Amino acid sequence: MSHSADEAVGRSETVVLTAPPSPDEIDRNLFMDFLTRKVMKGWMEHEPRPPEIPWTPLRKPLAECRLALVSSAGVALIGDPPFDQEGERRNPWWGDPSYRLIPRGTRTEDVRLYHLHIDTSFGERDLNCVLPLDRAEELAASGELGSVAPTHYSFMGYLLRPEEFLRTSVAAMIERMRAESVDLALLAPV
């Protein structure tokens, strides 16, 4: 990757978008097939516009922040129960709402990915493609980031009805993040 990309983001002329997005912006992602694009646009159009966006200002500079990573790629430690794919096969409108803990220092060979809607081979060849634990450690070691949290998280992102997921899994993740003094959570949906 070229250094110019690094510099481009560091410069103060980074453009911050704040206007409501239009469904046509979906077309900017070149990697979806026609049907997926249609579905995503449909979902955008039918999404009730959230009345208020929650906001917790960062209280510290990044160099003092503790970071936790969250992936929707269905990552689970090999010793832990897999995400439930049989359940989804029986009812295609359903997705497993549970979550898994991924400890700091977890390596690619310690996990499997369980997700029927993505190519799981990338994350299984290199966990950092979906949950960049090693990369976060490097940024902490260089002083750009304060610290890496003891625990990171994964869930399986195909959840047409997310209520149970929010009520159980996300509530539990939040509790643990608070206990571990996490300042910042980075979510990287797949």
Partner 1 sequence: MAARAIEAAGISTLTLSVLPAYTRAVGAPRVAGLNYPFSRPLGNPGDADGQRAILRAALRSLEAIDRPGGAVQLPFVWPESPAQARGKLKELPPIGKLLQQKPWLLLKFIRGETGD
Least distance CB 107 / partner 1 (angstroms): 13
* Residue 141 in contact with partner 1, rule: CB under 8 A: no
Give the Cα separation of 183 and 129 in Å (integer): 23
* Residue 78 in contact with partner 1, rule: CB under 8 A: no
Distance, CA of 174 to chain centre: 14
* Residue 148 in contact with partner 1, rule: CB under 8 A: no
Q: Pick from 75, 111, 156, 184: which binds partner 1 (CB under 8 A)?
A: 184
Least distance CB 110 / partner 1 (angstroms): 16
* Residue 164 in contact with partner 1, rule: CB under 8 A: no
Give the Cα separation of 58 and 183 in Å (integer): 7
DSSP 73: B
Give the Cα separation of 182 and 149 in Å (integer): 6
Q: Pick from 105, 141, 144, 164: which binds partner 1 (CB under 8 A)?
A: 144
Q: Pick from 81, 141, 164, 187: which binds partner 1 (CB under 8 A)?
A: 187
| Residues 97-136, mask of contacts with partner 1 (x by CB under 8 A) | -------------------xxxxxxxx-xx-xxx-x-xxx
Whether the CB-CB separation of 71 and 130 falls below 8 Å is answered with yes
* Residue 188 in contact with partner 1, rule: CB under 8 A: yes
- Tell me which residue of 108, 95, 157 sits closest to 135, measured CA to CA: 108
Comparison of 81 and 138: residue with beta carbon closer to partner 1: 138
| Residues 44-63, mask of contacts with partner 1 (x by CB under 8 A) | x-xx-xx-xxxxxxx---x-
Tokens for 188, please give them.
Answer: 């990287």
Pairing of strands 75-77, 111-113: antiparallel
Q: Count the neighbouring beta carbons within 10 Å of the beta carbon of residue 133.
A: 19
Least distance CB 155 / partner 1 (angstroms): 8
Q: What is the DSSP string of 96-139?
A: ---EEEEETT--GGGEEE--SSS-THHHHH-GGGTS-HHHHHHH
Least distance CB 80 / partner 1 (angstroms): 19
